[in-house]
């Protein structure tokens, strides 16, 4: 049972306010309208399930809504304000769990972003955005723990499902564009000509038959040459380039997501989402949201960096 918590700026909340001593993972669902900046001695994973509001940290404010996910390390301050029907599912993890049950987490390439040593990196809260599919998957893992009778819960079950939920979230880390396709400098004139045709009109509904006909070669020979010098077939190269183009548009324009998909050659929204995720490992909406957070953070850092003489 959640104990009464002081509502005052700068207060540090203890793990024991939310869970029994025998539990490593605890939950608290709260409707947030205004919560003063506070701290706590546990890791907190906060998922916004309803409403809108502003998440407050020492770095400023960011608007949150359904699908927003906030990860707060011990000692990091945060709060909420201007909440309108804002409902947040808070999942708490004791620090002891990362020390004794998950001692390897800080060495993991992605989990280390969450559980890295506090003294080696800034510990400001991290914010991501999940689409409906990702949010549903994440909530299903957390609900498996929340809804299990207390007598049937154990550390392996709780931590296992929490890690599965975190896996959904950390897929959104570093939504950078994939490295450009590497073309062997020894590529034949045929492959270079094919790449030029595709790059000049990425949105065209190319087929292998049409492309090979334009180049006056057989489809099999073209695919074999492409695989040899590019490492993937012509149409796969086309889709990769479309995903790169879409990523640039999502990050730098305000065009609706469906418009972006149509512009790069995927007029069907479901096809665009499927293809983009295939090459970028993230949905178009999540990529756009993450890009905005990423570039906003970069702009803020650049304003505070000393100007060289």
**Euclidean distance between CA atoms 223 and 225, whole angstroms:** 5
Residue 237: pLDDT above 50? Answer: yes
Region of poorest pLDDT, from 109-118, 130-139, 207-216, 220-229: 109-118
Check whether residue 79 and residue 211 sit in a common domain.
no
- Domain annotation covers residue 301: no
Query: What domain range is 51 assigned to?
Result: 12-170
Residue 6: pLDDT above 60? Answer: no
Top pLDDT among 18 and 234 is at 234
**Percentage of residues in the chain having pLDDT higher than 70:** 84
- pLDDT band per the 50, 70, 90 thresholds, residue 172: low
Region 5-19: mean pLDDT is 70
Three-state secondary structure call for residue 258? helix
**Euclidean distance between CA atoms 246 and 276, whole angstroms:** 8
pLDDT in tens, 16-68: 777 777 788 989 888 888 888 888 888 999 999 999 999 988 777 888 899 99
Considering 34-38, 73-77, 239-243, the range whose residues carry the highest mean pLDDT is 239-243
Q: For the chain, how many structural domains are there in total?
A: 2
- Domain annotation covers residue 110: yes
Torsion of CA 260, 263, 269, 273, to 10 degrees: -60
pLDDT in tens, 218-231: 999 999 999 999 98
- Domain annotation covers residue 38: yes
Three-state secondary structure call for residue 52? strand
Check whether residue 23 and residue 164 sit in a common domain.
yes
**Euclidean distance between CA atoms 92 and 40, whole angstroms:** 10
The answer to whether the beta carbons of residues 81 and 121 sit under 8 Å apart is no
Region 162-186: mean pLDDT is 72
Domain end (from 170, 200, 230) = 170
Kindly report the CATH number assigned to the domain that includes residue 201. 1.10.10.60
Burial of residue 87 (number of CB atoms within 10 Å: 0-12, 13-18, 19+) = middle
Residue 112: pLDDT above 80? Answer: no
Domain end (from 170, 197, 222) = 170
Residue 126: pLDDT above 60? Answer: yes
pLDDT at 207: 94
Among 298, 30, 62, 68, which residue's Cα sits nearest to residue 172? 68
pLDDT at 308: 41
- Domain annotation covers residue 182: no
Residue 1: pLDDT above 70? Answer: no
pLDDT at 181: 65
- pLDDT band per the 50, 70, 90 thresholds, residue 180: low
pLDDT at 119: 41
β-strands 78-93, 60-65 pairing: unpaired
State the average pLDDT for the chain.
82
Neighbouring CB atoms inside 10 A of 293's CB total: 15
Residue 175: pLDDT above 60? Answer: no
pLDDT at 265: 94
Residue 152: pLDDT above 70? Answer: yes
The answer to whether the beta carbons of residues 77 and 58 sit under 8 Å apart is yes
pLDDT in tens, 249-305: 888 788 999 999 999 999 999 999 999 988 887 888 888 877 766 555 444 444 444
pTM for this one? 0.56
**Euclidean distance between CA atoms 175 and 290, whole angstroms:** 7
Region of poorest pLDDT, from 19-33, 95-109, 189-203: 95-109
Backbone φ and ψ for 127, nearest 5 degrees, come out as: -125, 130
Torsion of CA 260, 265, 271, 274, to 10 degrees: -70
- DSSP conformational letter for 100: I
Residue 309: pLDDT above 60? Answer: no
Kindly report the CATH number assigned to the domain that includes residue 135. 2.60.120.280
- Domain annotation covers residue 139: yes
The pair of three-digit structure tokens given for residue 197, joined into one six-digit string: 């045709």
pLDDT at 215: 94
């Amino acid at each position: 049972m959640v104990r009464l918590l002081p509502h005052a700026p700068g207060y540090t909340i203890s793990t024991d306010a939310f869970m029994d001593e025998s539990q490593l993972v605890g939950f608290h669902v709260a409707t947030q309208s205004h919560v003063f900046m506070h701290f706590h001695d546990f890791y907190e994973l906060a998922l916004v399930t309803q409403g809108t509001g502003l998440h407050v940290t020492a770095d400023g404010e960011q608007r949150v809504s359904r699908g927003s996910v906030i990860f707060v390390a011990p000692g990091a301050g945060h709060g909420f304000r201007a909440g309108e029907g804002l409902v947040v599912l808070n999942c708490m993890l004791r620090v002891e769990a990362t020390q004794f049950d998950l001692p390897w987490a800080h060495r993991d390439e992605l989990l280390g972003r969450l559980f890295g040593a506090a003294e080696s990196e800034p510990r400001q809260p991290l914010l991501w955005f999940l689409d409906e599919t990702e949010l549903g998957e994440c909530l299903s893992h957390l609900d498996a723990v929340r809804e299990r009778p207390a007598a049937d819960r154990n550390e392996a079950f709780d931590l296992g499902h929490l890690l599965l939920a975190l896996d959904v979230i950390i897929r959104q880390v570093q939504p950078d564009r994939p490295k450009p396709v590497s073309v062997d400098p020894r590529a034949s004139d045929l492959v270079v000509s094919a790449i030029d045709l595709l790059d000049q009109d990425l949105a065209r509904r190319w087929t292998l038959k049409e492309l090979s006909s334009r180049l006056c070669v057989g489809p099999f020979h073209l695919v074999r040459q492409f695989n040899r010098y590019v490492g993937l077939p012509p149409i796969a190269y086309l889709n990769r380039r479309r995903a790169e183009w879409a990523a640039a548009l999502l990050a730098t324009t305000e065009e609706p997501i469906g418009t972006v998909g149509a512009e790069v050659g995927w007029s069907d929204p479901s096809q665009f989402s499927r293809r983009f995720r295939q090459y970028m490992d993230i949905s178009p909406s999540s990529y756009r949201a993450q890009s905005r957070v990423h570039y906003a953070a970069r702009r803020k850092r650049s304003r505070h960096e000393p100007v060289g003489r």
